Amino acid sequence: MTINDIDEKNVSTSESEDKTVIGTPTSSIDPNIKLQPIAEVLGGDMKKDSKELSAINDFIMKENPEAKMEDVAWACRELLLRLGTPRFGESNMDRLYQYVFLRTEKDNIDKKLDILEGKK
């Protein structure tokens, strides 16, 4: 593309402008980036607590499939407020993971009971 400029003597000069497209390299994107807001809210370590963070993220996304990353962080905060203060020596991560685990197990048992009772 050519850009025409007029200098101080009213003489037209032209420059060529290079347009480069900057692409996002897919190899450098961390697949666990969606877990970062949860780790920040709960004070967890992305590498050490990846199983717990994934379970919490899956639980929240199951409740609200259209949630964005910041919505997931707010849902974590909301769950923490609902659960209350953790016991002495227990972290927010442990408390929320235990809740998610038990709630998931309860939902699975309820589904199996419904099938056995012929409700579904």
Angle ∠(44,47,108) on CA atoms, nearest 5: 75
- How large is the average pLDDT for residues 9-29? 54
Secondary structure element (H or E) that encloses residue 14, with its range? strand 12-16
pLDDT digits (tens, 9 = 90+) for 34-77: 787 888 888 877 777 888 888 988 898 898 888 888 888 888 99
Pick the more confident residue, 49 or 21.
49
What DSSP line would sit under 46-109, residue for residue?
Answer: TTTTHHHHHHHHHHHHHH-TT--HHHHHHHHHHHHHHH-SPPTT--HHHHHHHHHHHHHHHHHH
Question: What pLDDT does 10 receive?
Answer: 59
- How large is the average pLDDT for residues 91-120? 91
Pick the more confident residue, 31 or 94.
94
**Length of the chain measured in residues:** 120
pTM of the model: 0.66
Angle ∠(99,105,110) on CA atoms, nearest 5: 120
- How large is the average pLDDT for residues 86-103? 91
Residue matched to tokens 């963070």: 53
Alpha carbon distance 15, 99 (integer Å): 64
The neighbour count for residue 77, using CB atoms within 10 Å, is 13
Q: Is the pLDDT of residue 103 over 80?
A: yes
Q: Is 57 exposed, middle or buried (0-12, 13-18, 19+ CB in 10 A)?
A: buried
